[in-house]
Amino acid sequence: MNQSGKSLAFFAAIVILILLSACNTTSEGVSQNILSTAWSTCNSVSGMPTGLPFTGKAVLVWNLHPQMLSQRKNEFAHTEQIGSIWLTDAPYFILGDYSVTRYYPEYNTGDFFTLNINEVSAFLCLSVKYTDIQTCEYAGGFSIIRSTAETDVKLVSWPNKNLIAETHEVTSQPDECPYSLNTSQMSNNLVDVKNIDIWKWFLKYKQ
């Protein structure tokens, strides 16, 4: 892999929080605490999955790796805190490895996801457990944490709070530590974790 290709992988923590999220800024369309509402709803739902499709749009929410907290104030991302957990809505995380999916040509965040409670008919929640593999240290205090992610995914209808579907996914390991970095465009700490490819799974339940 050439240097430019490697650089893309190592900006995962930044890209996750800024790509495809221009419509998710804290504007009038954003319902404050909607991520916390989705998170608590997914955690409290029980019973067998109905498998029934939903219409309208969904709220996507997943918990950040602790080292990603330095990125939580990014102006292009919507984040909320529930207890000691920081949440984000960044859709990029569910699209899988770019070399395989090419971000799915049919994907358009505005067609499927929202932060406006008046448009919501489902919550898509990813409860992520991170396992750190290695910390890559560089001059000037820069570092990259190589990590894998194990994810329990729930799709829950709203407002009736029925479990539509659930699945479990594990990411592959990220690339090895690069020999050197172009740190001019980086924050001091990044997390290199592969995205989770649940896009086609999600579409099965979208009517």
* Average pLDDT over every residue of 21-41: 71
Cα 114 from Cα 118, distance rounded (Å): 9
Q: Is the pLDDT of residue 174 over 80?
A: yes
Q: What is the pLDDT of residues 125-137, one digit of tens each?
A: 999 999 999 999 8
Query: Pick the residue with more confidence: 102 or 189?
Result: 102
Q: Nearest CA to 124 among 26, 20, 33, 39?
A: 39
66-117: pLDDT as tens digits: 888 765 555 567 889 999 999 999 888 899 888 888 889 888 888 999 999 9
d(CA 78, CA 26) in angstroms, rounded, equals 7
Residue 2 has pLDDT above 50, yes or no: no
Q: Among the residues of 61-162, which ranges form H helices?
A: 98-101, 109-112
Query: pTM (2 decimals)?
Result: 0.82
Burial 37-63 (b: 16+ CB within 10 A, else e): bbbebbeebeeebeeeebeebbbbbbb
Contact criterion met (CB below 8 Å) for 140 and 184: no
Number of domains in the chain: 1
Among candidate residues 192, 184, 186, the one with its CA nearest the CA of residue 136: 192
Domain containing residue 89: 3-203
